[in-house]
Structure 1
Amino acid sequence: MKLYLVAGEASGDARGAELIRALRERDASIEFFGAGGREMRALVGEHFVDWADEAVVGLWDVLKKYGYFKDQFDRMLKELATIQPDALVLIDYPGFNLRLAREAHQRFRKLKIIDYISPQVWAWNRGRIPKMARYLDLMLCIFPFEKPLYEESGLHTVFVGHPILDSLAAKKTGVARDPHLVGLFPGSREKEVRRIFPVMAQAAIRMKSTHPELRFEASAASHQLADRMMSTLEQLGQGEDFCAVTVRASHDLMQRAIAGMVCSGTATLEAAFFGLPLCVVYKVAWLTWIVGKQLVRVPFLGMPNVLAGREIARELLQGDATADALAHETLRLVTNAEHREALQADLRAVIVGLGESGAATRAADAILEELHTPARS
């Protein structure tokens, strides 16, 4: 059996690696091909492309790298024709992966096409779901409310649970929170760090000026991003004694800090899992923001808020994401125990609502079951 997997960024790469391990436990003879990040490549080997560091967010960034993504798109289609896998498994990264799914369906009518980590079309374009049902064979969703939305259009859908319940459980340390430590989590993409970390750092400086006992630590997704963050601190007249920068240690920091400023994305749900009192921050190019405001149909951006159905964690987005506002909200979390504990209780309720652990296992079982059912006509 041959499977061709495509993941587009660090979080998708982690989910893909978990899925590969679960599939191998069931069938060690499965051959894997495709593209993802270093975790998937480490499991699969040289015929798997590591391209996750090229991930972008926003309309303008995509347009600037259009040529690169077009080349990758064409390369993958050629590989599908050569390898002739039993299934194309697409992991998150919907902007690229759904286009690849549609084209693959047109060219390879017998190819099973499976989507793992369902795209958040419920937030910005539910009208796409019936179209997706025409070129996908199976949707694996991670939030319980998604399953009926996809099934309404006749798309075979399995709710597998959220992967963070497995990936983060073993990382719980039980360490006591440091009442003077504030965590900065500016995102895993270069563009996010460039736009968001300076505001976080400026907010930290304001907090330090009124509460000199506070200390700060920032989490970087790579050494390259850590260097950029240190450069930003130096430009602001600060050094590592003011804000330490650690690499790939976000989960540890989420458990040690008393509060955190967190870039919107997967990290907000990770923070919820670890019970970190947080405020959600996001800034993108203004063109992307204007277009996004016209498309998004949910009132919140942070996933804990989406799942709670209300703003349990304060969201500071785009023009509202100022250093003063961020400092004010984070200080409220640091100094107001009642407010902090109420938020932590809300975060616990959100995580309980995600169901049980075992997402990768259930996803692997659903994929193998789908591969043993007749292909669509």
Structure 2
Amino acid sequence: MTSIYIIAGEVSGDTHGAGLIKELLVLDPEVKITGLGGPRMKEIAGHGIEDWVETAGVVGLWEVLKMYSYFKQKFTATVTSILTQQPAAVILVDYPGFNLRVAKDLRTKGYTGKIIYYISPQVWAWKKGRVKTMAKVLDLMICIFPFEKDFYEKSGLPTEFSGHPMVDRVVALRRNWERERALVGWFPGSRLNEVKRLFPIMLQAALAIRMMHPQVRFAVSAANETLAGHLRQMADDAGMPEAKTWIETGTVYDLMQRAQVGAVASGTATLEAACFGLPYALVYQVNLLTYIAAKTVVRIKNIGIVNVLAKRDIVKELVQGRLNSDTLAAEMVDLLTNDVRRRDLQEDLAEVVATLGHGGAYRRAAQAVIGALTA
């Protein structure tokens, strides 16, 4: 029986890990899956998966430092577990701060099984020199963006482009709806710490927009009811109790198709918005210490993956000091009132999305894993 240990440390990684596990089980129903992940991976793989993503999915240097002892203990336990089990392969899903250290430590301690990385860490944006280390400890990189294949293979790391899983998800979730004119969608993120930074700015921007265009409406989709409760409290704290009526739960993909324009927190959701053709602005704001630390290692101009893929500015990026209620309101008003710009943006987004493959991403990733195991 083939055994595989898989590690995902964020909600998005749990989604991708679950999709990959499902296809692996189709190709080899006898494969044994263990590891760290979230509820979706656990649902498919069973009790061999420890659900830790709610704790592990913190964002920001300061937030990680506050949990240093937890991550140190979990790192040691994970490496020990892998060395004890000796699975045929270890699959690392994104989450580079933890996963790359695990890969390196496993090799240092003599693990000889396959180490496969799925969902490339964005080393092309930071610490490109780390690719040489990755080439020494990894057996295969499975990437979801087309330009990454050449990037990794230049360093001698075998790489497969599986296509982006979002293509399949968008096809399943697409509705034939017309966008609701004058509806602004707020997407402040799925993590509480980023929501606390972004949603108050969105609330103040909404007031400014209403002063200029009273007919404009707003909606915000919370990832879950707990987060929705925090959003309602923030609306009360801002003296805007009426904003509580904007809050929806679990409708993010529908709202991306209903809204005429939107503001989307940096991350996976920006690509999802592009796939659904939402004209949007990217918004990003973190702890100052985290931002300064990031600026010392980031080697690219843009943080939005859509702009990176396009190799030019398509989506407006309102980042850190450039993000406030006035700049956000101005960008939303321009997108709402400038029909030509809005249409051009949607065409640009469609061109970028077309480079991501044509479906079947998880199946190709699973086939790449099986191929590596049998090579």
- TM-score with structure 1 setting the length: 0.96
**Distance in 2 (alpha carbons) for counterparts of 1:166 and 1:196:** 29
CA contact (8 A) 1:105 1:111 kept: no
Whether 2:93 is the aligned partner of 1:91: answer yes
Q: 1:206 aligns with which of 208, 213, 221?
A: 208
**Distance in 2 (alpha carbons) for counterparts of 1:247 and 1:20:** 27
Tell me by how many angstroms 1:355 deviates.
2.3
Question: Which position in structure 2 is the counterpart of 1:47?
Answer: 48
Question: Which position in structure 2 is the counterpart of 1:6?
Answer: 7
Q: 1:76 aligns with which of 75, 78, 89?
A: 78
**Distance in 2 (alpha carbons) for counterparts of 1:272 and 1:16:** 22
Question: Which position in structure 2 is the counterpart of 1:32?
Answer: 33
Query: Mean alpha-carbon deviation: is it higher for 79-88 or for 155-164?
Result: 79-88
Superposition pairs of residues 1-377 of structure 1, within 5 angstroms: 1-54=2-55, 55-239=57-241, 243-373=245-375
**Distance in 1 (alpha carbons) for counterparts of 2:24 and 2:121:** 22
Structure 2 SS opposite 1:110: coil
Structure 1 SS opposite 2:241: coil
CA contact (8 A) 2:7 2:93 kept: yes
Amino acid at match of 2:33: F
Tell me by how many angstroms 1:243 deviates.
4.7
Amino acid at match of 1:360: Y
**Distance in 1 (alpha carbons) for counterparts of 2:62 and 2:177:** 42
Tell me by how many angstroms 1:356 deviates.
2.0
Structure 1 SS opposite 2:353: helix
Structure 1 SS opposite 2:356: coil
Query: Mean alpha-carbon deviation: is it higher for 30-39 or for 267-276?
Result: 30-39
What is the aligned-residue identity percentage?
Answer: 48
Query: Mean alpha-carbon deviation: is it higher for 192-201 or for 105-114?
Result: 105-114
Q: Deviations over 1:198-238 (max 9, x none)?
A: 11121112112222211111122222221111111111122
Aligned residues: CA RMSD? 1.2
Give the gaps of 5 or more residues in structure 1: none
Structure 1 SS opposite 2:129: helix
Amino acid at match of 2:163: G
Q: Deviations over 1:138-188 (max 9, x none)?
A: 000111111111111111111111110112210001111000211111111
Query: Mean alpha-carbon deviation: is it higher for 360-369 or for 184-193?
Result: 184-193
CA contact (8 A) 1:216 1:242 kept: no
CA contact (8 A) 1:139 1:158 kept: yes
Query: Mean alpha-carbon deviation: is it higher for 40-49 or for 256-265?
Result: 40-49
Tell me by how many angstroms 1:242 deviates.
5.9
Tell me by how many angstroms 1:241 deviates.
5.4
Query: Mean alpha-carbon deviation: is it higher for 341-350 or for 97-106?
Result: 97-106
Structure 2 SS opposite 1:120: coil
- TM-score with structure 2 setting the length: 0.97
Q: Deviations over 1:2-23 (max 9, x none)?
A: 1111111111111111101111
Give the gaps of 5 or more residues in structure 2: none
